[in-house]
Structure 1
């Protein structure tokens, strides 16, 4: 039976628990085995997070770096170049970073549902299954023998063979080829990723049975994102809520339930144990990238971001999430890097101008800014 906790809580405490589970603040020192033993490498960080939002490549690189102590930009790029981390569309039709051995089983769970949801758009674009098969053959011929090709080059191949790529037709064809495990994004070429043959780039894939895979997906999500709700997970993956609830019965005994505001939140026992002492991160100030999992990993973001400030991080609801300043588990503003080289500076834009950062928070902000600059190699 899952443990249930009813501690006196506030939003910031739950936010700090999320910081801890997402590896954005360290756990207190503890004998090995008493806290989560996590590989702090770039690849280990992505594997722990299960999947990390990555439609903005530069943001995704810092999302990993902010969780992998001591890593630099070159380390994260190297992980993509080597295939230790892969970037694809495992769910929601959105690019994520995942561990290579996990990508295929995630696609097995999510691809069919997404394909059905975009079927009408494919009809509008004149994309038929024979078009997909022809494009697949053209693409695999182009990358045969370990070759790699840019998106622009591949679209030229498609266009020359009569498969038009204009008007989003090309990106929909490409996404379909990646969702079906024929292509995957591979090494970087500047700020773009080249496309490679899936089987050559990821020679070993785990393929658990569907029920086992959904249960693992659930457990890993709550361990890396908790406290979170069942609906958070269902939204995050876009898996049917009925399937999610059925799988949840298989893993809930490995989780702890926390009641807050009339809602049940779930997390690992290790994260819940932090409530026995003091949840870390009370005086932390973090500079997170746009599209970070701390904000986007949940359907309800109000625990860490007051609703009246939603529009400040996504102006006009344009779908482009700004970089966020997170203090003590709460999003309190946005930030930007201004200038370049030695003169570059990280500048905050706080939501509430009447509450400037105090001396301790200013010092923490300065440390966070130096860490970001160091990550870039500045």
Structure 2
């Protein structure tokens, strides 16, 4: 029988129980089903609490071609192993294209502009990685009418990424991401891809149910149920599943982490009620998509934390 305390602890150990950093950023990204990557400092923290304590390692992994960043789950930037980005994009690319269509039109990214950019980007990227400003400059020089200011460049590259033309790689200089062609990798489709996604999620977040996968992925409940049906998962409790052979963690001292902003532990479930009292919910997510740092012990959020004078200072609520 799994009670709430054991479920919280089991999920905590799924995320952080093997925080050795084995395999570097690529190994951690695979075991974590990808890591949120829209905030570089938050990504470094997510790797750190999972055992990658060398802050230069992410960029080395990018340069070695071991990892890339793409707009994937929920249309959000995620760090994933380079060999997995293609099948993930097969699941999320079309959905992300549809989700951004209205905003692209508002920004003047017409079908003609997009088609012209898509026709030129492979040639421009063939010579080597380029940053966003340089890509837009080169497109404009070839007659593609992209407003270089505002949000149009970001949405153009998001469109190209969803079409499978590019992804983010190593920074060309600090804070200046480079874009590169999509690397070769596994090609999965249909229920095979959905099943692999469910196995990723169950291994990283489990025990979980289809509702958790639906929220984490953004694919919706129907697709999540198909994924679970195809994945061959083991039922740990009614409606909750893990990878076959997964066991609850043995008794031991509490597992505690100071998680950074946007940590996937806070984003992988239908809701946060099991880990966070509702009266404190806005202290972690006050709105606008911002997820604050959290102090977590055995799966319960007990407070937040900040850096003060070079030290990590917890702020406990309970």
Check whether TM > 0.5: yes
Return the match for 1:332 from 284, 297, 302: 302
1:188-236 CA-partner distances (Å, limit 9, x unpaired): 22123111222xxx1x211123111111111121111112220111122
Q: Equivalents in 2 of 1:310, 1:129: separation in Å? A: 42
Shift of 1:106: 0.9
Return the match for 1:25 from 17, 21, 31: 17
Which secondary structure state, in structure 2, belongs to the residue aligned with residue 172 of structure 1?
Answer: helix
Q: Equivalents in 1 of 2:221, 2:38: separation in Å? A: 25
Q: Equivalents in 2 of 1:250, 1:60: separation in Å? A: 31
Q: Is the 8 A contact 2:18 2:50 kept in 1?
A: no
Q: Is the 8 A contact 1:155 1:165 kept in 2?
A: yes
**Who is 1:193 aligned against?**
177
Q: Is the 8 A contact 1:323 1:334 kept in 2?
A: yes
CA RMSD of aligned residues (A): 2.2
Which secondary structure state, in structure 2, belongs to the residue aligned with residue 266 of structure 1?
Answer: strand
Return the match for 2:209 from 222, 229, 232: 229
Shift of 1:273: 4.1
Structure 1 stretch displaced more, 39-48 or 157-166: 157-166
**Who is 2:315 aligned against?**
349
Following superposition of structure 1 onto structure 2, how do residues 65-144 of structure 1 map, counting pairs within 5 Å? Answer: 65-68=48-51, 71-144=53-126
**Who is 1:258 aligned against?**
237
1:297 matched to 2:235 = no
Kindly tell me the number of residue pairs found equivalent between the two proteins. Answer: 315
Shift of 1:333: 1.0
Structure 1 stretch displaced more, 128-137 or 210-219: 128-137
Q: What TM-score do you get using the length of structure 1 for normalisation?
A: 0.77
Q: What TM-score do you get using the length of structure 2 for normalisation?
A: 0.91
Q: Equivalents in 2 of 1:306, 1:83: separation in Å? A: 41
Q: Is the 8 A contact 1:91 1:107 kept in 2?
A: no
Q: Is the 8 A contact 1:105 1:206 kept in 2?
A: yes
1:323 matched to 2:275 = no
Q: Work out which of the two has the higher radius of gyration on C-alpha atoms and give 1 or 2.
A: 1
**Who is 1:53 aligned against?**
36
Q: Equivalents in 2 of 1:40, 1:196: separation in Å? A: 23
**Who is 1:151 aligned against?**
132
- Structure 1: gaps of 5 or more residues: 1-5, 28-36, 353-378
1:143-202 CA-partner distances (Å, limit 9, x unpaired): 223x1211122233344432224342221111011111111111122123111222xxx1
Shift of 1:312: 0.7
If asked which structure has higher relative contact order (CA below 8 Å, sep 6+), I would say: 1
Q: Equivalents in 2 of 1:121, 1:137: separation in Å? A: 21
Q: Is the 8 A contact 1:20 1:271 kept in 2?
A: no
Q: Is the 8 A contact 1:165 1:171 kept in 2?
A: no
Shift of 1:56: 0.9
